[in-house]
Amino acid sequence: MTKPIEIGNKFGRLTVETPPERRNGGANYVGTVCVCGTKRYIALADLLRGKQRSCGCMAREVSYLLRQFDEHGQPKYGALVEYRAWSNAKQKIENPRSVSYARNGGRGIKVCDEWGGDFPAFFADMGACPAGFSLVRLNPDADFSKDNCRWSKSKRGQVYEFRGERRTASGWSTILAIPIKIVLDQLEDGLSVAQIYDNFQAQLSEVAA
């Protein structure tokens, strides 16, 4: 069986340095090192579910960036990829002239209240966009929100084969009962659906042990 966690595995900015061990009331934790050099023990479940992607340095970087202004007193974030992603999402929801409006705002999709008029809130929730990635909704029938959005380089419409069947990432997520965030993360890392399924079953066994 494939090991669920190995030293050297990467989760966002974090790299695993130690095998899982029981801490804090029995939960499994692993020792990690962040790209900034900070070392922390992180709950295994938080890593696997994508809840912990850095030691906290990303939030500090976002806070610094949002305090920067140009010579005219305008916030510098207006030229950011992340700002364009937020603005495009709002256009899909609010602008009937947008080519995407019918599939979004026209059928009741919304931008969550926290993000509606507040780009800094969006940036704080989503973090920096990796090069070559774009904003996607995990459930295309749900709103733009922290729980339903992620940065992704996967093509959502791409079809993947497993057990003689061909389905999209979302389709396999539903059928195999694997969170779509995990499916997309591992597809982006080059894994097949079969490998993703085996890894997830092994991870469940480790968490339950």
Percent of the chain with pLDDT strictly greater than 90: 23
Name the amino acid, one letter, at 150. Answer: R
Average pLDDT over residues 13-42: 89
Tens of pLDDT, residues 164-187: 888 888 889 889 999 887 888 788
Between 20 and 50, the more confident residue is 20
Domain boundaries, the chain: 80-152, 154-209
pLDDT bucket at 1, cuts 50 / 70 / 90: very low
For tokens 């993947």, name the residue. 160
The angle, 0 to 180 degrees and rounded to 10, between the axes of the packed helices 57-65 and 119-126 is: 160
Average pLDDT over residues 69-93: 80
- The strand ranges marked E within 82-173 are 134-137, 149-152, 159-162, 165-168
State the burial class of residue 28 (Cβ atoms within 10 Å of its Cβ: 0-12, 13-18, 19+): buried
pLDDT bucket at 209, cuts 50 / 70 / 90: low
Q: Dihedral of the CA atoms 188, 153, 173, 34 (nearest 10)?
A: 60
CA dihedral sign, ordered 45, 49, 55, 59:
negative
The pTM score is 0.53
Tens of pLDDT, residues 101-142: 888 999 999 999 889 877 877 887 887 787 778 888 888 889
Average pLDDT over residues 73-93: 81
- Please say if the pLDDT value at position 35 is more than 60: yes
Query: Which residues have CB under 8 Å from 87's CB, separation 6+?
Result: 119
Percent of the chain with pLDDT strictly greater than 70: 88
The angle, 0 to 180 degrees and rounded to 10, between the axes of the packed helices 193-208 and 169-176 is: 40
Pairing relationship of beta strands 39-43 and 14-16 according to DSSP bridges:
unpaired
Average pLDDT over residues 17-32: 88
pLDDT bucket at 155, cuts 50 / 70 / 90: low
